Amino acid sequence: MKLSLIAVASTVVALSFAAYAEDMSGMKMDAAPMTQQAPVARAAGTIKAIDGEKHTVTIAHGAVPVVQWPPMTMGFRATEAQLAGVKVGDSVNFEFQLAGSTATLVSIDVAK
């Protein structure tokens, strides 16, 4: 963890590391360091709602230890193509990236 923090710090030398550390103070300490590209997490769940206007899909998902989530029902940002491939009630396996409190789908597949 320390080594990866040092690696991240060295990539943001153009920025103030003090400000960076301050931004991170509200985050869980064992969460991955925030970089331009958040790590991709995987989860499984059931589609509860689809909003084609807001481009969100509400999924009741299981626990996601990598981001310290218990099972919950929540919205994910999704592309039109991702929304077109699923319907309410589908069991899905999906990948997402978390940026702050916004979770964005990377991929979503209906479980066979």
Positions in the binding site for Cu ion (CB under 5 A): 69, 72, 74
Instruction: Give the pair of three-digit tokens for residue 110.
Output: 């209906």
Instruction: State how far the Cα of 59 lies from the Cα of 44, in Å rounded to an integer.
Output: 9
Task: Supply the minimum distance, in Å, between the C-beta of residue 72 and Cu ion.
Answer: 4
Q: Is 46 exposed, middle or buried (0-12, 13-18, 19+ CB in 10 A)?
A: middle
Task: Supply the minimum distance, in Å, between the C-beta of residue 103 and Cu ion.
Answer: 7
Task: Supply the minimum distance, in Å, between the C-beta of residue 70 and Cu ion.
Answer: 8
Nearer to Cu ion, 32 or 74 (CB): 74
